[in-house]
Structure 1
Amino acid sequence: MLRNYLKTALRNLWKHKLFSFINVFGLASGMLVCLLAMIDIKGAFDYDSFHPHTDRTYRILTDVTDKANDERAFATTPLPLADDLSRNYPFVEATTRVIRQYGEATANRKQLQVIASAVDPGFFTVFGFRLAAGQAATAPGTVVLTRQTAERFFGTANPVGKVLEHTGLGPLTITGVFAKPPTKTHLNFDMVVSMATLSTPDWQRKRADWTQYSQGYTYVLLKPNTPTETLEASLPALASRVTTGIRFATEKGYTFRTQALARISPSREDLMYATYEPTAGKLEAELGVGLLTLLLAAFNYINLTLARSLSRAREVGIRKVAGAMRWQLMGQFMAESVILSVLGLGLAYGMLQLVKPMPFVQQWLIGDSQWETNSTLWTVFVVFSVVTGLLAGLLPARVLSGFQPAQVLRSQTGLKAFRGVTLRKSLIVAQFSISLLAMIALLAMARQQQFMATADYGFQREGLLTIPLNGMPPARLSAQISQLAGVDRVAATVALFGDHGGNWQKVYRQKAKSDSSITDVFAADANLIPTAGLTLVAGQNMPQSASDTASNQVLINEEAVRTFKLGEPKAAVGQTLWLSDSTEVQIAGVVKDFQFTTMVWKIRPLILRYQPGDFRYLTVKVAGGNPESVKADIARIWKRLNPYEPFAGQWYDDFLYNRHSHTDDLSFMGLLLGLAMSIACLGLLGMVTYTTALRTKEVGVRKVMGASVGQVVWLLSWDFLRLLLIAGTIAMPLGYLASSFFLMTFAYHITVGVGLLGLCFGTMLLLGGLTISWRTYRTALTNPVNSLRNE
């Protein structure tokens, strides 16, 4: 019987090729997104699976209660906790702390941003990071690099034994190189430094301070056969013991709890100072998008199958008269649906191979996941496709198999739904509503990113060339560039405007008071003001001198004047502020507000200070002429001074555009939108094709009676165009609300107006109208003689 089902199903699918193609393509499009989501979900659960003792390794979390009785969970703990657990609890086999350190490292004439993790010797026991070369870093001033970091600094050369200079940790001797881990890990780092390296008095104090619970992460390896409850039960008493007598500033206290290493990824709760594991919300959103796209395809299958209900109803009637049972008819229809779904899975795999190289897919979805050779995952794929086919075919199978032979063999009763609106039309409206909603949201995102890439940030961006120094002394390079014809000025800065800013820190109005505000202290020289076209509203520029005293003369922006309540800009000149390191600085001038970070944040307080040790970029102002020629001359100077490092200069316009446009992300989201719109249009095409086929004789009669081609096209099209109008009425308000909520996350953003909504609605009408008119026009051109010949 099953063989007969399959044979009959294949014949039916081959007989109706257009409908079969529409269904296979639609199901494949939905499955493509679902496959990407399932691969990413599998990768999320594979995090840290390569460690040797995942069943008895735990991270300690800190639950902090403030004086308003609000609780917050921290992924971090006080630094003394690891030593206390090792010393006082015999069921603990090993502990380790991980302290993240951000900064720059210099080696082999290269200066790069790196993420360092300071760890205890137990790190190499608790975790399973294997060494490809050398040995673990346990002595003071030693470091182990990841393979990628070693290649960034040294290429293919062996780095073991060489010295790397870190801005915050000093000189570090490389003792080893990690092998690439088999799976991803929540412990994302570029290098691992021995904890003994942190030996300054400040670090010694932090390592004994129980009040600071945000300094580092604590991991515990229990002895074999030790139940989790043993560790969990000991933590409340431990927290009570170590906090007795402590007077917190803003907290009532804290407690500890465990988190199994295998449960860290995906993250199921919002933790302060979380690590790099994916969140459950991200995975749920991905799967939701995939299932929504698949739902559109399932709508198509239901829609087209019910559209063919008249012809299939006669088939059902004849089969029932011949003695077929209802469950046998349902089996036949379900077999067709499953075959379509399996064919869709094959096409989805082919489409996956095409989108796999896309940067967005590699970075955010499948990445390094080993999925193509995973038999379990392929079993899930196949089962998923079969279940999809069964669910998609269930409703049509029940409806079609329920027809009564006497009714369907003597009449042509259509399938009715609630209040005279057919189910088929409702599904078309749902498809185009979802597609239009996605189109509005995507266009709003694209326009916001275009706005951020091209907006007026308040500083000059044309004719500016940015050069990352990568460890080269700025004075030497600046002196030679300044002598070139076509170069107007050269400024040195710590970072580039329009990015993340410089160095956020607390700045105080008075040294002895708590009137602080988070302020960006941005290292720059006096050339920055004329180079970037900034405006001084009061006072004067910072000194040109390279002496140490020059760093005490600073510029602030107007927002800093308001934040520190310094009165008018003129009154602020000459007043003083205190930096977080207790340095007193004097205000030399006030700069007009400009956007020195991204458009996500409002303009914040800013201090421009001369700090030559922090300079990381040169900004060159090119005066007219041939800017590309000047850039080539600068590249030659760079090559002469630093032959081992490629020249990475780019125009400021290009930097801001690349920083904010996110074309890779938009390309992938555009692909999803294209799939959704294609599914909707193909479903509409199938419906129009079938409906016009039923009305061929009507068209012939009308043409014989004198109807024009245009009148026939309008007659056949109006019912479907009305569905598109209904979809627009539903989707445009929802799209406006969704886009507005998204744009509210930006301090400066575009507005969703009539133009944007009208463009999306017009595009949907154009695509839907072309789909409808193409088929109805062909039907309207049919010769009446051919359609009426058999009457």
Structure 2
Amino acid sequence: MFQNYLKIALRQLWKHKLFSAINIFGFASGLMVCFLTISHIKVVFEYDNFHPKRDRIYRIITDVRNGTQGPAMTATTPLSLAPALKQDYDFIEEAVRYIPFNRMIPDRSFRANDKQLAIDAAVVDPGFFNVFQFRIERGRPVTDPLTVVITPKTAFRFFGTSDPIGKVLQHKTLGLVTVTGVLAEPPLNSHFKFEALFSIASFPQITQRGSSQVWQWQYYKQAYTYVLVKPASTRDHLQQVLPSLLKRATGGVHATPKVDYRFQVQSLAQLSPATEQLRERMVNEKSYAELAVEFLIGLITLLLAGFNYVNLTLARSISRVREVGIRKAVGALRWQVMSQFMAESVVVALLAVGLAYGMAILIRPLPAVQLWLISGQAWDLQVWLLFLGFALLAGMLAGWVPARILSGFEPAQVFRSFSGLRVIRGFSFRKALIVAQFIVSLVAMILLVTLYRQFHFLSTADYGFRRERLLTLPLDAPPRSSLIQALSQVAGVEGVSASSALLSELNQIRYVRSNRASQDSTQAIVVDIDSSFVQTMGLSLVAGRNFPRPAGLTSRRSASRFILINEEAVRAFHLGFPGDAIGRALWLNDSVEVQVAGVLKNFRFSFLAQPIQPLVMEYQPDRFRYLSLAVTAGTEQMVLAETKRIWQRQLPYEPFLGEWYNDYLSTKYDNSPYTDFLAVLIGLSLSIASLGLLGMVTYNLQLRTREVGIRKVMGATVQQLVTTLSWEFGKLLVMALLLAYPLGYLAGTALLRNFAYRVTIGLETFGLCVGLLLLLGGLTIGLRTYRAAQANPTDSLRTE
């Protein structure tokens, strides 16, 4: 019986080639996205399962409770937590810290073997390799200061096929770092992502056990703390000691009374996928909500394909319903008729699997697919079984609706007449599905185009400071006055300024008090600049004045007493209006008294997903590590060549790493991998909807061939025929647009709430989506109806 169903299904598919192709392509498009998400979700559920001691490893996270904003779980902890746990509690076998390198030093560039490369690195305690199963393939782990172990890929990037053991990496801040070992290639199914691991002894400022400085809460966002308990111990033992440890260790630390910090325990198995999305989490960590969104994208694409299948199957119901009547008249049961239609949908799904695999191979090289969905997961037998099961289930669900409807007709009703299926008066079920399909397509397009525009906005937005024609020079040490003077005299250089960091890399946090006797303090971002920085970067003062320009040692000390703050700092420090803040005294880190010299207009110095934070600019020349050159338009190449010449003359042993700031920002906020993938999804959504409409129009015109012939014989023009035949589907498109706009607007607005600075959903978004949909829909309907209207009426009426 099954063999008979299969033969009939294949014959039906071959008989109606256009409809079969549309159904198979639609299913394949949805299955392809689902295929990628299934492989990714499988990886996420297998994270960190290769560690032998997995059931005894826990991560400590910080529960930050703010009276005004509510609780916020953060994956990081203070720097001194791990040493205190290991020293004070016997049931703890090991406690280690994992600190991303860029949280200690923003610059990730290293030089070796005449190559300058950026690497993803981390700083770890010596016990890290006792807790986690990251095997050293050659050499030894990192224990001594200024030592590092690297992955095989990193070793090959720097040293090729030569042995890297004993060789050095040069960093402008750390100096020379010796390679002591090469790791075995780290497994991909890990929430850790690194290319090198540095010894924590390389940073003496965080190895002072018991230091009150590293317990202060401005440092709690730097370290991830992992604890390995002894076999007889449990999670409850660890959770019970954390409150007392927190109280004892932070008793002398002044923190903001409005914020309450608590420690929570998270087992390694709970890291990913997690029930909630933690702040400061690792790049590879995913939450159940994020996985659901990923899978929802595939389901929406598959839903559009399912609508196509149901639409086209029901559209052919007039011819298939007589087949149902004959089958029932000769004794077929309803479940047997349903099985026939279900078999056809399963065959379509299985054929779509092969096409989906080919499409996945084509888009797999896209960076977004590699980084976001696949994560290096091999498509093994388990993935294929999951995927085939999902494809069969999707095919059966898509075939169940038409099978249920068509198998329900009685033979007498079928042979007497058949006028169609009605959902509401005057509106057929298949028309309702067409409207629903275009609503889903348009809402999906609005969401995707909104994301596309938001990503583009992030990389091209006006941040409020100069980014065009600005040459930045990273330095290993504070700049020489002779270097600044020589660069200032270059023709085409409008100004030269020095700073401790680039505006887009500000991460130095301090606590500021407006009253030294008060226990209340506010967190602020701090950067060191010189007196030329405001003019060079195009910043605006709304009150007060710039730093006094230092002329000697005494004036330099005087300049360091003054600070500049932004408007957000005025509000956060409760200083009233910008003019009221001038001359006010503030205390940095509870002890350093400074005076507000000027207030800067707010500008965006961090990622646009975050709101503007309080900013403090001070003058500390010994911390300067960047020079910025403002260049006149048209002189960029000449200035760059002359700057290189001056650099090589004054700093002959240091590599020239100058870069145009606009290029740097464009690269840093480049979202092209994701926008390319969004473009693929938009194309698939449009293609499925348009092909479904093409199938419906084609079949409708086949049924109305004789009507078209009669109208032409009666004198109807081609234009009148095209208008008459197109209006039925034109009404459906208009109805879908009217219903989809409010839904798309609400969905897009909810999505944009994740960004502090965002685009708006107006005519740019809705007009583009509607225009594309109307253009493709109009071309699809118009071309097919025009072709039908041009046909010779004698061809359709000769047998009448």
**TM-score normalised per structure 1:** 0.87
Match of residue 394, structure 1, among 390, 400, 404? 400
The change in CA–CA distance for 1:209 and 1:579 in structure 2 (over 3 A counts) is: closer
- Residue type of the alignment partner of 1:777: Y
State the shift of 1:188 in Å: 3.6
Any conservation in 1 of the 2:200–2:207 contact (CA below 8 Å)?
no
Aligned to 2:294: 286
Aligned to 1:586: 595
Aligned to 1:264: 271
State the shift of 1:155 in Å: 6.5
- Residue type of the alignment partner of 1:764: L
Indicate whether 1:341 and 2:349 are aligned. yes
Distance in 1 (CA, whole Å) between partners of 2:82 and 2:617 is: 40
Aligned to 2:744: 735
Aligned to 1:679: 688
Where in structure 2 are the equivalents of 1:91-130 lying within 5 Å?
A: 94-98=94-98, 102-104=103-105, 108=111, 115-121=121-127, 123-130=128-135
Any conservation in 1 of the 2:478–2:623 contact (CA below 8 Å)?
no
Distance in 2 (CA, whole Å) between partners of 1:253 and 1:662 is: 35
Aligned to 2:324: 316
Distance in 2 (CA, whole Å) between partners of 1:117 and 1:294 is: 44
Any conservation in 1 of the 2:477–2:624 contact (CA below 8 Å)?
no
SS of 1:685's equivalent in the other structure is helix
Indicate whether 1:650 and 2:660 are aligned. yes
SS of 2:209's equivalent in the other structure is helix
Distance in 2 (CA, whole Å) between partners of 1:66 and 1:321 is: 73
Match of residue 540, structure 2, among 521, 535, 541? 535
Any conservation in 2 of the 1:50–1:183 contact (CA below 8 Å)?
no
Indicate whether 1:519 and 2:528 are aligned. no
The change in CA–CA distance for 1:82 and 1:336 in structure 2 (over 3 A counts) is: farther
Indicate whether 1:7 and 2:15 are aligned. no
Q: Deviations over 1:19-45 (max 9, x none)?
A: 011001100110111011111101112
Indicate whether 1:417 and 2:427 are aligned. no
State the shift of 1:688 in Å: 0.7
Match of residue 379, structure 1, among 370, 378, 385? 385
- Residue type of the alignment partner of 2:9: A
Indicate whether 1:486 and 2:489 are aligned. no
Q: Deviations over 1:70-120 (max 9, x none)?
A: 776565567567776798656x66554445562237764769686533324
- Residue type of the alignment partner of 1:267: A
Distance in 2 (CA, whole Å) between partners of 1:353 and 1:670 is: 17
State the shift of 1:173 in Å: 4.7
The change in CA–CA distance for 1:477 and 1:449 in structure 2 (over 3 A counts) is: farther
The change in CA–CA distance for 1:638 and 1:341 in structure 2 (over 3 A counts) is: farther
Aligned residues: 778
State the shift of 1:691 in Å: 0.7
Aligned to 1:231: 234
State the shift of 1:294 in Å: 0.5
State the shift of 1:491 in Å: 2.4
State the shift of 1:283 in Å: 0.8
The change in CA–CA distance for 1:346 and 1:705 in structure 2 (over 3 A counts) is: same
State the shift of 1:569 in Å: 5.0
Distance in 2 (CA, whole Å) between partners of 1:63 and 1:605 is: 23
Any conservation in 1 of the 2:516–2:590 contact (CA below 8 Å)?
no
Any conservation in 1 of the 2:471–2:659 contact (CA below 8 Å)?
yes
Distance in 2 (CA, whole Å) between partners of 1:467 and 1:14 is: 65
The change in CA–CA distance for 1:364 and 1:629 in structure 2 (over 3 A counts) is: same
State the shift of 1:326 in Å: 3.3
The change in CA–CA distance for 1:12 and 1:642 in structure 2 (over 3 A counts) is: farther
Question: Which 5+ residue runs of structure 2 have no aligned equivalent?
Answer: 252-256
The change in CA–CA distance for 1:657 and 1:74 in structure 2 (over 3 A counts) is: closer
Match of residue 556, structure 1, among 565, 579, 583? 565
Any conservation in 2 of the 1:142–1:193 contact (CA below 8 Å)?
yes
- Residue type of the alignment partner of 1:587: V
Distance in 2 (CA, whole Å) between partners of 1:208 and 1:583 is: 15
Distance in 2 (CA, whole Å) between partners of 1:597 and 1:400 is: 59
Moved more, 57-66 or 678-687: 57-66
State the shift of 1:282 in Å: 1.1
Aligned to 2:26: 26
State the shift of 1:389 in Å: 1.5
Distance in 2 (CA, whole Å) between partners of 1:362 and 1:735 is: 29
SS of 1:387's equivalent in the other structure is helix
Match of residue 610, structure 1, among 619, 625, 636? 619
Any conservation in 2 of the 1:519–1:605 contact (CA below 8 Å)?
yes
- Residue type of the alignment partner of 2:534: I
Distance in 1 (CA, whole Å) between partners of 2:216 and 2:416 is: 85
Q: Deviations over 1:629-657 (max 9, x none)?
A: 433554566678578857552252x4444
Any conservation in 1 of the 2:442–2:769 contact (CA below 8 Å)?
yes
Match of residue 295, structure 1, among 303, 307, 321? 303
- Residue type of the alignment partner of 2:12: N
Question: Which 5+ residue runs of structure 1 have no aligned equivalent?
Answer: none
Distance in 2 (CA, whole Å) between partners of 1:330 and 1:58 is: 53
- Residue type of the alignment partner of 2:13: L
Q: Deviations over 1:208-261 (max 9, x none)?
A: 9999887641322543xx5xxx514534654576578889766889575452x3
The change in CA–CA distance for 1:381 and 1:243 in structure 2 (over 3 A counts) is: closer
Distance in 1 (CA, whole Å) between partners of 2:611 and 2:73 is: 28
Aligned to 1:366: 374
Moved more, 107-116 or 532-541: 107-116
Distance in 2 (CA, whole Å) between partners of 1:546 and 1:150 is: 48
Aligned to 2:254: none
State the shift of 1:140 in Å: 5.5
Aligned to 1:725: 734
The change in CA–CA distance for 1:63 and 1:540 in structure 2 (over 3 A counts) is: closer
Distance in 1 (CA, whole Å) between partners of 2:198 and 2:413 is: 81
State the shift of 1:570 in Å: 5.6
Where in structure 2 are the equivalents of 1:147-162 lying within 5 Å?
A: 147=152, 158-162=163-167
Distance in 2 (CA, whole Å) between partners of 1:454 and 1:65 is: 35
Moved more, 769-778 or 41-50: 41-50
The change in CA–CA distance for 1:87 and 1:169 in structure 2 (over 3 A counts) is: farther
Distance in 2 (CA, whole Å) between partners of 1:32 and 1:287 is: 12
Aligned to 1:352: 360
Any conservation in 2 of the 1:494–1:617 contact (CA below 8 Å)?
yes
